[in-house]
Amino acid sequence: MTDYDADGRRIATRRGFLSAAGSAGVLALAGCAAPDASGGGAAAEADAEPERVAVGDDWSASDSTDVETDYPYTSPPEVVDLDARDGAVTLSTEACRHQLLGDDAAGGPWELPEVWAWKTADGDPSVPGPLLRVTEGTEMQITYDNTQHSRPHTFHVHALSKRWMDDGAPTTTGQQIAPGEEGTYEITADVPGTHLYHCHFQTQNHLDLGMYGILRVDPVDYEPPDKEFFVTVKDWDTRLSASTAGGDVDFSHRDRNPDVFTVNGRAAPYSLHPEEGSPMIVEQGDRVRVHVTNNGYESHSMHTHNHRFEVVEKDGGVIPDAARHKEDVTSIAPAERKTLEFTADADPGIYAMHCHKVNHVMNGDTYPGGMLTGIVYEDALGTEQFSNLMDNAGYDA
């Protein structure tokens, strides 16, 4: 149901927003054989051309995403509780379109015409991939089913112990999972913390086309906070997606020039959409924990407005109490992971969390946009400011 104020303006209702965010928008509490060595090589990258819509001859970085494909769209990431699955999950990859800004969002629509999205056997493809969550000590079996994509792939996760042939790095193992094949990686969840996973076959393309995600290992004595969120940031050069989708555009990783900056795969204001984005909804007094990861190529200086936090974990290591201090900006390098904790004790309102490389908070020449999300107090959900924010995000309450 949509509500309106006395002047006829739509109001994003508290009930509608919390219902939407609770169901999808907020990333919160997620046959055994060695990977097959057959297949691989640069030639496999050229297999299976998709159906494409013809594009014009004149291209630049600013309009490179105008190329169109008929792929399905990605969905928001699902949370996979590996404890409930005895540590086992099957993943695959699907070529998709990915919306940076939705059709109704300010500045939208804007999309990447081709990404390679992870998915579970019973889930939808997403960028980032499913949030995998497991308890310390679990022996995991990550099966990669490569019957739905035309390139070789692997599964590689940071920090956790595995046998040499389960490392998912073809450069050193000589193994990848060829199209039409599947293989299982046996990995021990022996390092509590927040970790990255990604494809490590021709990483410069596969990671940069969306094959990345978060694997969270909770310690056995884990004490959840009042509110917990997962945030992964990434920079993109849209020419890679357009080139992969058949656009008439030149791209080289040697002159990569990012023109898109995302939080959990969305650019602001779409990043604040409760169903498609991932705003952080808190109540006054909450103890809040935010796991921040960087799956891009550039470092980012993440800043929280009106909330000072402590960094309590880094790359799976717990920061000793004596080394912690209050801060409001933290740098996060490529592949780095940090866990931030703060108390929601500010004047209840809406506060930004964003990269402080200010050109990263833009969509093209438009500010604000890009790598920005929000800390949203429930007490502020009925305000005119919040309603305007939801209008910009394209959310129909």
Q: What is the pLDDT of residue 21?
A: 76
Walk me through the domains of the chain, giving residue ranges and CATH numbers: 9-25+244-393 (2.60.40.420), 42-222 (2.60.40.420)
Is the confidence at residue 392, as pLDDT, over 90? yes
Is the confidence at residue 397, as pLDDT, over 80? no
Q: What is the pLDDT of residue 357?
A: 98
Give the range among 53-62, 100-109, 170-179, 322-331 with minimum mean pLDDT: 53-62
Contact 233, 268 (CB under 8 A): no
Is the confidence at residue 185, as pLDDT, over 80? yes
Mean pLDDT, rounded, of the chain: 88
Cα separation, 148 vs 223, whole angstroms: 39
Q: What is the pLDDT of residue 396?
A: 86
> pLDDT > 70: what percent of the chain?
84
Q: What is the pLDDT of residue 66?
A: 77
Q: What is the pLDDT of residue 40?
A: 38
Going by pLDDT thresholds of 50, 70 and 90, the confidence category of residue 20 is: confident
Cα separation, 259 vs 59, whole angstroms: 14
Average pLDDT over residues 196-206: 98
Beta-carbon contacts of residue 254 (< 8 Å; ≥ 6 apart)? none
Q: What is the pLDDT of residue 59?
A: 39
Cα separation, 355 vs 263, whole angstroms: 10
Residue with tokens 């019973």: 122
Cα separation, 52 vs 55, whole angstroms: 9
Give the range among 15-29, 243-257, 330-344 with minimum mean pLDDT: 15-29
Length of the chain: 397
Average pLDDT over residues 384-390: 97
Tell me: the pLDDT tens digits for 75-131?
Answer: 999 999 999 999 999 999 999 999 999 999 999 999 999 999 999 999 999 999 999
Tell me: the pLDDT tens digits for 56-89?
Answer: 344 344 566 678 999 999 999 999 999 999 999 9
Q: What is the pLDDT of residue 27?
A: 52
Is the confidence at residue 33, as pLDDT, over 70? no
Average pLDDT over residues 32-37: 33
Going by pLDDT thresholds of 50, 70 and 90, the confidence category of residue 18 is: confident
Is the confidence at residue 160, as pLDDT, over 50? yes
Q: What is the pLDDT of residue 63?
A: 61
Q: What is the pLDDT of residue 64?
A: 62
Q: What is the pTM of this model?
A: 0.88
Beta-carbon contacts of residue 95 (< 8 Å; ≥ 6 apart)? 50, 69, 71, 114, 115, 116, 117, 149
Is the confidence at residue 280, as pLDDT, over 50? yes
The CB-based long-range contact list for 315-324 (8 Å cut-off, 24+ gap) reads 315/158, 315/159, 315/193, 316/158, 316/159, 316/191, 316/192, 316/193, 316/194, 316/195, 316/217, 317/193, 318/192
